[in-house]
């Protein structure tokens, strides 16, 4: 059973294979109508359940389009449709869904929900996001960097802001793809020490630097994410803004990165909070290439899960 639950739970060779497949899939479709099926239709006859306890734009559209381009069909289910863990256990839901569909993607809150789904499903399960990690996004980010600048191994990636679930998956990727990682942000929002330790044990340099200018100096890639979640109370939002203002990615900060450094943001963005529009729309930015590559990276992940 090939679940895609987290980057650090998948071998380096398999991750590299997925990135290579994503690049090939994208190249094969260049110049073709977006509604055209892939030549080999690897998901022909397959049904994929897309479960969203958390709302989404990019994850929902990219997975839905990806399945359709590969010849498959989707069943989109919201948290209200499912009421996971309320009334029926997650384990029983996993067992039932496995009788109907060939693949499950779930975007949820608690990591335990994902893990229980995978434990009891008899079909592959993909982590579309949890409060702890976001592996599909980072596979797209690695793909995007390598399209623009070549191999990411040995490069310096700087994360500025909140050490959240996207940051966690970047640390997993640092260990698996072999790039150095610097976190800059307030100590109250440091990434989980478990993930820092994982990357270091893989032999890459991971550092925490409170001064954003020092952190960004010599960076090949600068990344940030929204400062607040849609579920945060107003009091928490104000507190986070006060903490994170010094870590905004603006043109002055980007001047300390390498001349050919890239800027990424997984979106949605609060423009002129975590990053200025000048940076987001500027020459360093690849945020829309990054968004597009969610489609191609996730198609590669689904192919891998189903042995296609």
In tens, the pLDDT along 148-182 reads 999 999 999 999 999 999 999 999 999 999 999 99
Task: Indicate if 137 belongs to the active site.
Answer: yes
Residue 87 predicted with pLDDT over 70: yes
How does the average pLDDT of the chain come out, rounded? 95
The 10s digit of each residue's pLDDT in 188-242 is: 999 999 999 999 999 999 999 999 999 999 999 999 999 987 566 666 778 889 9
Query: In angstroms, what CA-CA distances link 224 with 2, 270, 280?
Result: 30, 11, 11
Q: Select which of 3, 8, 29, 294 is catalytic.
A: 294
**Confidence tier at 86 by pLDDT (50, 70, 90):** confident
Residue 185 predicted with pLDDT over 80: yes
Which percentage of the chain shows pLDDT scores above 70? 98
Regarding beta strands 180-184 and 156-160, do their DSSP bridges make them parallel or antiparallel, or are they unpaired? Answer: parallel
The pLDDT value recorded for residue 230 is 57
Q: Give the SS3 label for residue 138.
A: helix
Q: Give the SS3 label for residue 69.
A: helix
* Tokens found for residue 18: 């997925």
201 burial via Cβ count (<10 Å: 0-12, 13-18, 19+)? exposed
The 10s digit of each residue's pLDDT in 108-140 is: 999 999 999 999 999 999 999 999 999 999 999
The pLDDT value recorded for residue 236 is 75
| pLDDT, mean of residues 93-104 | 97
Q: Select which of 29, 141, 162, 266 is catalytic.
A: 266
**Confidence tier at 143 by pLDDT (50, 70, 90):** very high
273 burial via Cβ count (<10 Å: 0-12, 13-18, 19+)? middle
Q: Select which of 3, 8, 132, 137 is catalytic.
A: 137
The pLDDT value recorded for residue 253 is 98
Q: Select which of 134, 240, 265, 296 is catalytic.
A: 134
| pLDDT, mean of residues 23-47 | 95
Residue 43 predicted with pLDDT over 80: yes
The 10s digit of each residue's pLDDT in 7-18 is: 999 999 999 999
Q: What is the pTM of this model?
A: 0.96
CB contact set of 13 (below 8 Å; sequence gap of 6+): none
Residue 245 predicted with pLDDT over 60: yes
The pLDDT value recorded for residue 259 is 98
Q: Select which of 58, 167, 225, 284 is catalytic.
A: 225
The pLDDT value recorded for residue 232 is 66
Residue 67 predicted with pLDDT over 70: yes
* Tokens found for residue 173: 């990727």
Task: Indicate if 266 belongs to the active site.
Answer: yes
Task: Indicate if 305 belongs to the active site.
Answer: no
Element (H or E) spanning 48, and its range? strand 47-52
Segment among 48-57, 212-221, 258-267, 290-299 with least mean pLDDT: 48-57
Residue 279 predicted with pLDDT over 80: yes
Which percentage of the chain shows pLDDT scores above 90? 91
**Confidence tier at 4 by pLDDT (50, 70, 90):** very high
Bigger pLDDT: 239 or 43? 43
Task: Indicate if 167 belongs to the active site.
Answer: no
The pLDDT value recorded for residue 31 is 92
Q: CA dihedral defined by 29, 31, 37, 38, rounded to 10 degrees?
A: -20
Task: Indicate if 107 belongs to the active site.
Answer: yes
Q: Select which of 46, 58, 107, 265 is catalytic.
A: 107
């Amino acid at each position: 059973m090939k679940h895609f639950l987290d980057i650090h739970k998948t071998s380096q060779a398999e991750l590299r294979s997925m990135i290579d497949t994503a690049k090939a899939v994208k190249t094969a479709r260049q110049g073709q109508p977006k509604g055209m099926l892939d030549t080999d239709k690897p998901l022909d006859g397959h049904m994929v359940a897309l479960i969203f306890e958390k709302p989404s734009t990019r994850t929902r559209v990219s997975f839905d389009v990806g399945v359709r381009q590969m010849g498959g069909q989707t069943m989109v289910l919201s948290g209200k449709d499912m009421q996971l863990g309320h009334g029926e256990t997650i384990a029983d839901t996993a067992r039932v869904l496995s009788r109907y569909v060939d693949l499950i993607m779930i975007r949820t809150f608690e990591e335990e929900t994902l893990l229980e789904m995978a434990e009891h499903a008899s079909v592959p399960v993909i982590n579309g996001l949890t409060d702890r990690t976001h592996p599909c996004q980072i596979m797209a980010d690695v793909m995007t960097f390598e399209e623009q600048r070549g191999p990411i191994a040995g490069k310096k990636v700087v994360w500025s802001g909140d050490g959240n679930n996207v940051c966690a998956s970047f640390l997993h990727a640092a260990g698996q793809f072999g790039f150095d990682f610097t976190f800059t942000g307030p100590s109250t929002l440091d990434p989980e020490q478990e993930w820092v330790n994982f990357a270091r044990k893989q032999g890459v340099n991971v550092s925490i630097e409170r001064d954003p200018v020092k952190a960004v100096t010599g960076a090949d890639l600068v990344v940030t994410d929204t400062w607040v979640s849609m579920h945060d109370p107003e009091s928490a939002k104000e507190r986070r803004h006060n903490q994170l203002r010094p870590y905004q990615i603006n043109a002055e900060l980007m001047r300390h990165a390498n001349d050919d450094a890239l800027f990424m943001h997984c979106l949605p963005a609060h423009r002129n909070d975590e990053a200025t529009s000048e940076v987001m729309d500027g020459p360093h930015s690849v945020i829309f290439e990054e968004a597009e590559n969610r489609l191609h990276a996730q198609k590669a992940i689904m192919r891998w899960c189903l042995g296609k």
